[in-house]
Structure formats: structure tokens, C-alpha cells
Amino acid sequence: MKLDEFAAKIRESDEIVVFTGAGISTESGIPDFRSPGGIWTRYRPVTFQEYMTSEVARIEAWKRRLDGWEQYRAAKPNVGHYFIQALSLKEKLIGLITQNVDGLHSMAGLADDKIVELHGSNRKILCMSCTKEFAPEPIINSLVGDFASPKCDSCGGILKSATVSFGQAMPEQAMRIAQGWTEQAKVFIVMGSSLQVQPAASFPVVAKRNGALLAIINREEGPLDGLADFVHNGSIGEFCGKFGEMIADG
Ligand code: APR
């Protein structure tokens, strides 16, 4: 499918689902995972089991959080996030399914009932025993010198970012809503994901199987390009800048 044909489809559709990965936040200064220099090219993931059973693993995980803290704090939504928000303002968006935990879609103004965060959010910290919630800033600022991993001030339980680690159960309600939106979608747009991680990467396949038009916008080629009706390999920011104008009167 050519770009102007895809633009026509977007102009005429009001049943669009967008699915994003870390690639939509790199132009906001947050590194992705699998590009050169990405997080998993520098660290091995700490699994949920390791985090919950080893103080050494917890300290390692908090050190990484400290490492990326400035980039993350300074990050602002970019053209890609605002493009999706614009679809919602035009009542064209059923919902946004994101693998990202950075909260930038919400910061761009997208309503909470239009966002599903499949892998949770690092804008909250949870006690893994009594589920008390904490804001990240005071906890991060308490991690100085040779720190022990932070504990809950109510029950002494282990504190953890409200993100889904490898080996941790997926959030049931988020998965259920994402499944419903995916089955409803007439147009399903993937932006900035290598589509390597299950079960998240199954949603584009389900959408296509349900007859949706599948579009993939990603800097690199990916495993579902052959299945997609429209593929653009390049920068999301650049694409959304141009494409936003093409569909402006949609
Ligand atoms: N424009 C377009 N594409 C980009 C850009 C950009 N500015 N920056 C990066 N990309 C692409 C990369 O080429 C890559 O294919 O985005 C993709 C990001 O892939 P990953 O780093 O694997 O991120 P993601 O797909 O979100 O990873 C899924 O893996 O580790 C888990 O929980 C983590 O949610 C994450 C999941």
C-alpha cells in the first residue's frame, strides 16, 4: 500500500488502534532496548524471581534506575506521541496499547481511558506486600551512597517499580482491554517496536487475523513486515510530522 492510500484509509477510519514500543520515546531522549546502545545491549534483564529473592539483584535494579533517572525525568513527549493524541482528539482512536512504562503518552494529553500500559508504569512504585503506592522521586532521592534496597514504610515489604519484569504475570485487566480493542480495530498501527516480546507482539497478528489493516512504522525492518499492509522504515518523528499534515482534514 502506498503512503497516500494509507493516508486516505486513516482519514476515513474512526476505529484505529495504535500499538507502541520504546522506539516512539527515543526521540524524547529515552533509549530503547534492542537498538545499538539500547538497554539490553548494556544490561541483562533482572527477572521478577531474582528481584524478589535477592537483595543484590534489587540493588542492581535500583542502580540502573538511578543511571537513567535524569534522561527519564527530563523526557517530554515528541511528535509521535502528539500524533496519536491528535487521532484521539479527532475521535478516530479506539485506544492506544503501549509496551512503554515512561508515561509519555499520558503526558501528551491522551486520556487514561484511552491508554493500556501492558508492561505497567515506572511513574509509580509499589510495595510488593501491602500494595501501598509511592511516588518515584523521594524514593530515588533516598538512594545515596552504599544504599540498601528501599522498603515499605508501613509494612517493611519490598518496593518495586510498578513495571512488569520478565517472569512476572501480565496485568490481567490491561490484557483484557487490549484484546477487546485489538478485535475491534479496523486499522492497527504499530509504532517503534521490534515485536520480539510476547504476549505483546501477538496483538498485531490478532488484529490482522480479524481483518484490520495492519501498518508498521519502525526504523528497522521487523518480523511482521511481510504480514503488514503498509510499512514505513524510518524515524517516527519525521513520519508523523509529514503524515499528520496529509491527514489533517481527515
Ligand atoms: N523511529 C522509528 N523507530 C525507532 C526509533 C525512531 N526514532 N527509535 C527506535 N526505533 C525502533 C528500533 O529500530 C526498534 O526496532 O524501535 C524498536 C524498539 O524495539 P525495542 O528496543 O525491542 O523495544 P520494544 O519493542 O518496545 O521492546 C518490547 O521488551 O524488554 C522488554 O519490556 C520491555 O517493553 C519492552 C519490550
Where residue 236 sits, what CATH number does that domain have?
3.40.50.1220
Quick check: 161 and 124 in contact, CB under 8 A? Answer: yes
Quick check: 145 and 62 in contact, CB under 8 A? Answer: no
Residues 13 and 70 placed together within one structural domain of the fold: no
CA dihedral 176, 95, 98, 249 (to 10 degrees): 160
Q: State residue 62's pLDDT score.
A: 97
Backbone φ, ψ for residue 115 (5° rounding) = -125, 130
Confirm whether pTM is higher than 0.85.
yes
- Output the domain CATH number for residue 48: 3.30.1600.10
Ligand 1 centroid from CA 194, angstroms: 5
Mean pLDDT of all residues in 173-201: 97
Residues 211 and 246 placed together within one structural domain of the fold: yes
Residues 99 and 205 placed together within one structural domain of the fold: yes
- Ligand 1 pocket, 61 CB below 6 A? no
Mean pLDDT value across the chain: 96
Residue 49 clears pLDDT 60, i.e. is over it: yes
DSSP β-ladder status, 120-127 and 93-98: unpaired
Final residue before a domain boundary, out of 109, 133, 163? 163
Residues 126 and 226 placed together within one structural domain of the fold: no
Residues 107 and 225 placed together within one structural domain of the fold: yes
**CA 207 to CA 184: how far, in whole Å?**
8
Ligand 1 atom at minimal distance to the Cα of residue 32: 21
Q: State residue 250's pLDDT score.
A: 54
pLDDT tens-digit series, residues 115-145: 999 999 999 999 999 999 999 999 999 999 9
**CA 111 to CA 101: how far, in whole Å?**
16
* Residue among 240, 245, 229 at smallest CA distance from 20: 240
- Ligand 1 pocket, 236 CB below 6 A? yes
Residues 140 and 66 placed together within one structural domain of the fold: yes
Residues 186 and 222 placed together within one structural domain of the fold: yes
pLDDT tens-digit series, residues 67-82: 999 999 999 999 999 9
Residues tagged active-site: 119
Please tell me the total count of domains within the chain. 2
Range of the domain at 69: 31-74+120-163
